Amino acid sequence: MKQTSKKSPPSYSLAQEQFAAVGINTEKALTVLARTPISLHCWQADDVSGTEREGSSLESGGIQVTGNYPGKARNTQEIRQDLDQALSLLPGKHRLNLHACYADLGGRKKDRNRYSTEDFQSWIDWAKKRKMGMDFNPSYFSHPLSKDGFTLSHPDKAVRNFWIEHGIASRKIAESIGKQLGTACVTNFWIPDGHKDTPYDRKAPRERLEDSLDQIFKTKIDPKYNQDAVECKLFGIGSESYVVGSHEFYMGYAVKNQKLICLDAGHFHPTEQLADKISSVLQFVPELLLHVSRGVRWDSDHVVLCDDPTKAIFEELVRGKFLDRTHIGLDFFDASINRIAAWVVGTRSAQKALLMALLEPALQLSKAESTGDYTARLLIAEESRSLPWGAVWNEFCHRQEVPVGEALLTEIKNYEKTVQSKRA
């Protein structure tokens, strides 16, 4: 942790005392917060456009970006510049989550099934220089062979094979990332496959998907270097009626093959809470990947807030002692506001939710519950909402030398004025 020479504001020591009175050690909470990385999704920089072709844009894949706020990053260099700016406003040490469609091809003409480490070496070097770990994603969207909405479960064997090769190539790249950076790369598989309208045959695509995944995962890779995750979805744009990779499908697949499950907060029915799934899933799979996101009615990938559903996710991780088995990633893309602000607000909100979970009066709550005193459980939980966690958050930012409150907005506006607004 970076230590500032400046003294902590007095509000912190007052808060520290108040938390100590209910048995909570704020210093311990800050230590855990500082060592918990969030995997920053590169795709917030440019609305999931990618860098494979000049002027590429998100074309297909059951996800949609809305908004046209000026200043979008147009190439690898601008994405990195924006990432550095976002990182400078985030307390803690984080990871980079890169999609394969952000390959730095440097003029090499190759398709996704032929991608190799060289196409990502400049990203690996970039991360290494910043002492960051990296996570990876094969890209099964925005490509001529994903246009009809099917990839790994496509009825045409040639199309399936292309995407199987892309998956195999991606795991090799991820293995190399893990080796080079000295921290395991989590490779997440999400495919858009599904039907807009009610299908006749729900079975065959799922059989094909299982077979394709088996082929991709055939080569064993040391989990020290790479770990595979599979991400389910209830519905997407253009796959409203049927998604091949449903929750039940991947739950079964991950349990059977001991893969990581990726739970995206926007991928379930709006009344379902992701938090409630964590302790069930982790009973049967080794580790978990989270896509912390915010669905608004549909899977809209709004900027993460420090709201009740997000807080509930982090409470589960802390209460169940699951932090060591969970990889925390983000997945949102808002193009209607300053994109750096989106990144920074979303990431800091997730971190705040984690901090609040670490500052829960855990002993009191578990004692109330185990003695059947549900009156006390409710009262303590509600009273704890007004504990001065904000002062602890500000102290964290202060120690990590990142701005809080309006100073944060000033930094973002300044960057917008001097850098982003100059982009045509």
Distance CA 227, CA 132 (A): 17
Give which of 129, 125, 130 is closest to 37, Cα–Cα: 130
Alpha helices, DSSP H, located in 238-388: 247-257, 275-281, 308-319, 339-358, 362-370, 374-384
Could you tell me the smallest distance in angstroms from the CB atom of residue 263 to Zn ion? 9
Find the catalytic residue in 299, 334, 360, 416.
Answer: 299
Q: 133 vs 192, which CB is nearer to ligand RNT?
A: 192
Give which of 274, 271, 328, 293 is closest to 92, Cα–Cα: 328
Could you tell me the smallest distance in angstroms from the CB atom of residue 60 to ligand RNT? 12
Cα-Cα-Cα-Cα torsion 174, 176, 177, 181, nearest 10 degrees, comes to: 150
Among ligand RNT, Zn ion, none, partner that 334 touches (CB below 5 to 8 angstroms by kind):
none
Could you tell me the smallest distance in angstroms from the CB atom of residue 192 to ligand RNT? 7
Distance CA 242, CA 378 (A): 40
Judge whether 264 counts as a catalytic residue: yes
Q: Which of 264, 287, 299, 334 is close enough to bind Zn ion by CB under 5 A?
A: 264
Contact call for residues 313 and 356 (beta carbons, < 8 A): no
Could you tell me the smallest distance in angstroms from the CB atom of residue 275 to ligand RNT? 18
Per-residue interface string for the shown chain with Zn ion, residues 318-337, x marking contact by CB under 5 A:
-------------x------
Give which of 182, 292, 278, 288 is closest to 229, Cα–Cα: 288
Find the catalytic residue in 43, 123, 190, 393.
Answer: 190
Among Zn ion, ligand RNT, none, partner that 63 touches (CB below 5 to 8 angstroms by kind):
ligand RNT
Helix (H, G, I), strand (E, B) or coil at 88: coil
Cβ burial 394-416 (10 Å sphere, 16+ → b, else e): bbbbbbbebbeeeebeebbeebb
Could you tell me the smallest distance in angstroms from the CB atom of residue 62 to ligand RNT? 6
Find the catalytic residue in 94, 99, 166, 233.
Answer: 233
Q: 190 vs 217, which CB is nearer to ligand RNT?
A: 190
Q: 19 vs 250, which CB is nearer to Zn ion?
A: 250
Q: How far, CA to CA in Å, does 50 sit from each of 63, 310, 323?
A: 14, 28, 31
Point out the residue whose Cβ comes nearest to ligand RNT.
190
Q: 236 vs 361, which CB is nearer to ligand RNT?
A: 236
Q: Which residue's structure tokens are 């100059």? A: 422
Q: 289 vs 391, which CB is nearer to ligand RNT?
A: 289
Could you tell me the smallest distance in angstroms from the CB atom of residue 63 to Zn ion? 8
The residues pairing with 185 across neighbouring beta strands, listed in sequence order, are 226
Site size with Zn ion, rule: CB under 5 A: 3
Q: 296 vs 409, which CB is nearer to Zn ion?
A: 296
N residues, the chain: 424
Find the catalytic residue in 231, 287, 360, 411.
Answer: 231
* Backbone angle region of 301, left / alpha / beta, with phi > 0 → left and psi within -120 to 50 → alpha: left
Judge whether 233 counts as a catalytic residue: yes
Could you tell me the smallest distance in angstroms from the CB atom of residue 43 to Zn ion? 10
Judge whether 135 counts as a catalytic residue: no
Q: Which two tokens stand for residue 290?
A: 């989270």
Judge whether 231 counts as a catalytic residue: yes
User: Which residue stretch of 173-181, 263-271, 391-399, 406-414 sits at the interface with Zn ion (rule: CB under 5 A)?
Assistant: 263-271
Q: How far, CA to CA in Å, does 367 sit from each of 233, 249, 351?
A: 37, 38, 27
Among ligand RNT, Zn ion, none, partner that 183 touches (CB below 5 to 8 angstroms by kind):
none
* Contact residues for ligand RNT, defined by CB under 6 A: 43, 48, 63, 99, 137, 190, 231, 233, 236, 264, 291, 299, 331
- Pairing type for strands 298-302 and 294-296 reads antiparallel
Judge whether 201 counts as a catalytic residue: no
Q: 291 vs 348, which CB is nearer to ligand RNT?
A: 291
Judge whether 299 counts as a catalytic residue: yes
Find the catalytic residue in 277, 291, 302, 311.
Answer: 291
Helix (H) or strand (E) holding 10: helix 10-21
Widest pairwise Cα distance in the chain: 67
Find the catalytic residue in 78, 193, 287, 301.
Answer: 301
Give which of 95, 97, 93 is closest to 31, Cα–Cα: 93
Distance CA 158, CA 127 (A): 35
Find the catalytic residue in 267, 302, 311, 352.
Answer: 267
Judge whether 156 counts as a catalytic residue: no
Among Zn ion, ligand RNT, none, partner that 48 touches (CB below 5 to 8 angstroms by kind):
ligand RNT
Could you tell me the smallest distance in angstroms from the CB atom of residue 233 to ligand RNT? 5
Q: Which of 291, 311, 352, 377 is close enough to bind Zn ion by CB under 5 A?
A: 291
**Which residues of the chain form contacts with Zn ion (CB under 5 A)?**
264, 291, 331
Catalytic residues: 190, 231, 233, 264, 267, 291, 299, 301, 331
